């Protein structure tokens, strides 16, 4: 717990007349796992897209390590230390598993070199393999990514985000579409990741979120509804009304 890493100040986002987010002020400390939950349409994904630079907020400010991120193009976010995974599997299907991760690691070092042989960037190969090892995919490194199972593709996606050595790792529903076995593996992986770095998670599976997170932030209709430790969230009547009451997964 070494102080504040990311601070959102009055973040709002409009799409035409539709207000997706309004006045979200929240800050995230370094070194803990925080989950963002909320019913469908609560603005979780919009918020996540703003935090990762895919969307620009219509109002409010974003500070990361004291630096303002507003106006920075999306591809610069990784260079600042914010890396993300996607809700819908988002990998490079026709590249090998290893190349998926290697090319992600390369982004931080070199883009426009058309002259040297990329095979000579040997350190990247090592880093890619280390990231694959961390998610348990090292044995499949030479296969094409499209031939992995769904759960493995989700893990690969995390390896892609992880290889950038981000200070803040944003994970958008890493267990989406997974069966119970795969989910279990993923939870174990998330626990390992949360030991070492700051993780921000959007997730639907309530039981998992409450068991895993140090802190839970609840969004509803684009506003911040609650923010606290899992126990507080569990007993918060507002949250129970809008969200938990509907969820069979809450246990």
Partner 1 sequence: MTGPSSSEALTKPASSGLGWLLDQRVLLSIAVLALLPWLLPSKALAVNVLIYGVVVMGYNLLFGYTGLLSFGQAAFFGAGAYFTGIAIGRYGMPWFAAVPVAVLLSTCLAAAIGVVSTRTRGIYFSMVTLALAQLVYYVALQAASFTGGENGLRGFTVDRISLFGLQVNFLDPVNKYYVLMAFAALAMWFQSRILNSPFGAVIEAIRENEQRARACGYDVERSKLVVFMLSGAISSLGGCMLALHLSIVPLDILHYQTSGMIVMMVLLGGASSFFGPFVGAASFLILEDVISLWTPHWQIIVGAIFVLFVLFLPKGIWGTLLDALGIGKARR
Taking the complex as a whole, the smallest distance from the CB of residue 132 to partner 1 amounts, in Å, to 15
Taking the complex as a whole, the smallest distance from the CB of residue 84 to partner 1 amounts, in Å, to 6
Q: For residues 36 and 209, what is the distance between their CA atoms, to the nearest angstrom?
A: 9
CA torsion 171-185-195-206 (nearest 10°) is 60
- Residue 31 is encoded by which pair of tokens? 């070194």
Taking the complex as a whole, the smallest distance from the CB of residue 114 to partner 1 amounts, in Å, to 5
Closer of 44 and 205 to partner 1 (Cβ): 44
CA 147 remoteness from chain centre: 24
First to last CA, the chain: 29
Closer of 107 and 139 to partner 1 (Cβ): 107
Say if residue 96 is exposed, middle or buried (CB neighbours under 10 Å; 0-12, 13-18, 19+): middle
Taking the complex as a whole, the smallest distance from the CB of residue 121 to partner 1 amounts, in Å, to 5
Place of tokens 């998670």: 201
Taking the complex as a whole, the smallest distance from the CB of residue 13 to partner 1 amounts, in Å, to 19
Q: For residues 66 and 179, what is the distance between their CA atoms, to the nearest angstrom?
A: 40
The torsion angles phi and psi of 203, rounded to 5 degrees, stand at -155, 150
Looking at residue 30, what DSSP letter applies?
T
Closer of 32 and 96 to partner 1 (Cβ): 96
Per-residue buried b or exposed e for 12-32, using 16+ beta carbons within 10 Å of the residue's own CB: bbeeeeebbbbebebebeebb
Taking the complex as a whole, the smallest distance from the CB of residue 169 to partner 1 amounts, in Å, to 12
Contacting positions for partner 1 (CB under 8 A): 52, 54, 73-79, 83-84, 86, 90-96, 99, 102-104, 106-124, 160, 164
Closer of 94 and 133 to partner 1 (Cβ): 94
Taking the complex as a whole, the smallest distance from the CB of residue 43 to partner 1 amounts, in Å, to 20
Q: For residues 5 and 157, what is the distance between their CA atoms, to the nearest angstrom?
A: 23
Closer of 37 and 124 to partner 1 (Cβ): 124
Closer of 78 and 225 to partner 1 (Cβ): 78
* HSE of 91, CA atoms in CB hemisphere, 13 A: 28
Say if residue 143 is exposed, middle or buried (CB neighbours under 10 Å; 0-12, 13-18, 19+): middle
Closer of 18 and 115 to partner 1 (Cβ): 115
């Amino acid at each position: 717990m070494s102080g504040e890493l990311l601070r959102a100040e009055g973040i709002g986002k409009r799409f035409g007349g539709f207000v997706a987010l309004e006045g979200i002020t929240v800050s995230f400390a370094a070194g803990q796992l925080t989950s963002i939950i909320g019913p469908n349409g609560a603005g979780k994904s919009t918020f996540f897209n703003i935090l990762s630079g895919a969307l620009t907020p219509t109002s409010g400010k974003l500070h990361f390590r004291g630096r303002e991120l507003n106006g920075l193009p999306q591809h610069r976010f990784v260079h600042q230390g914010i890396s993300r995974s996607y809700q819908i599997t988002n990998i490079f299907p026709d590249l090998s598993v290893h190349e998926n991760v290697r090319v992600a690691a390369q982004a931080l070092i070199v883009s426009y070199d058309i002259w040297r042989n990329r095979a000579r960037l040997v350190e990247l190969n090592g880093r890619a393999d280390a990231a694959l090892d961390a998610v348990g995919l090292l044995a499949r490194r030479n296969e094409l990514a499209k031939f992995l199972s769904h759960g493995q593709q989700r893990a690969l996606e995390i390896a892609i985000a992880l290889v950038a050595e981000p200070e803040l790792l944003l994970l958008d529903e890493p267990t989406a579409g997974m069966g119970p076995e795969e989910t279990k593996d993923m939870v174990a992986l998330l626990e390992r990741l949360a030991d070492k770095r700051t993780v921000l998670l959007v997730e639907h599976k309530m039981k998992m979120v409450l068991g895993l997170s140090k802190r839970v932030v609840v969004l509803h209709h684009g506003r911040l509804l609650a923010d606290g430790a899992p126990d507080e969230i569990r007993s918060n009547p507002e949250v129970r009304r809008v969200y938990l009451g509907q969820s069979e997964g809450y246990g």
